[in-house]
């Protein structure tokens, strides 16, 4: 038994409308899926680059401290006693809001000092710090 022409036409339009709507939903779902995956992926990249940036800064700070320590070890003991409490070098310019500090402290006697070389810098509003401590004596390493 055949349906009347008007009913056939109505059902065809309904089907077409449903098919068109389904395409929009498909696109919407696709966009949502892709957005979720893309955001997850991007956050991985962002986190990764942050970690790499922190690694680089730690390495630069360590290098700056080592440089300064070697310079101090090659100075005479009397020059060390009159050292500035801050230092700067090329490596430090790579760090944000960085300062280098040297602290010469009295230790066991007049001929031995406790030397601390520190680097402070800022990373995403967090204050970072690296220290290296050692002894320096009048007739010590590199001083004959």
Partner 1 sequence: MKVIIKIERGRKDGSILIIGMAILSFLLVFAVPHLFQQSPENKVTDKSANYSAALSLAEAGVERVIWELNYGDISTWKGDSTSRTLTISSYQAPASDVIGDIEIRVEDPDGESPQVKSTGRVAYTSPLAEGKTARVYLERTTRVELERNGYNWVCSFPQKQIQIPASRVQGSTF
Least separation in angstroms between residue 13's CB and partner 1 is 9
Nearer to partner 1, 112 or 122 (CB): 112
How does DSSP assign 2-65, residue by residue?
Answer: PPPHHHHHHHHHHHHHHHHHHHHHHHHHHHHHHHHHHHHHHHHHHHHHHHHHHHHHHHHHHHHH
Nearer to partner 1, 101 or 122 (CB): 101
Least separation in angstroms between residue 132's CB and partner 1 is 5
Nearer to partner 1, 3 or 66 (CB): 66
What is the per-residue burial (b if ≥16 Cβ within 10 Å, else e) of 26-60? eeeeeeeeeeeeeeeeeeeeeeeeeeeeeeebbeb
Compute the distance between CA of residue 29 and CA of residue 1 in angstroms, rounded to an integer.
Answer: 40
Binding residues for partner 1, rule: CB under 8 A, are: 16, 19-20, 23, 26-27, 30, 33-34, 37-38, 41, 44-45, 48, 51-52, 54-55, 58-59, 61-62, 65-66, 69, 103, 105, 108-109, 111-112, 116, 118, 129-144
Least separation in angstroms between residue 88's CB and partner 1 is 19
């Amino acid at each position: 038994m055949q349906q009347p022409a008007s009913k056939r036409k109505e059902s065809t339009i309904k089907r077409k409308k449903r098919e068109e709507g389904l395409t929009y939903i498909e696109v919407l779902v696709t966009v949502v899926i892709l957005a979720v995956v893309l955001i997850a992926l991007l956050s991985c990249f962002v986190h990764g680059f942050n970690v790499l940036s922190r690694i680089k800064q730690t390495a630069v700070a360590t290098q700056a401290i080592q440089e300064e320590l070697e310079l101090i070890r090659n100075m005479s003991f009397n020059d060390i006693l009159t050292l500035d409490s801050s230092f700067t070098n090329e490596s430090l310019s790579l760090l944000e809001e960085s300062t280098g500090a040297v602290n010469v402290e009295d230790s066991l006697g007049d001929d031995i000092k406790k030397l601390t070389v520190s680097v402070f810098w800022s990373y995403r509003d967090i204050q970072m710090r690296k220290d290296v401590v050692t002894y320096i004596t009048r007739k010590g390493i590199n001083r004959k």
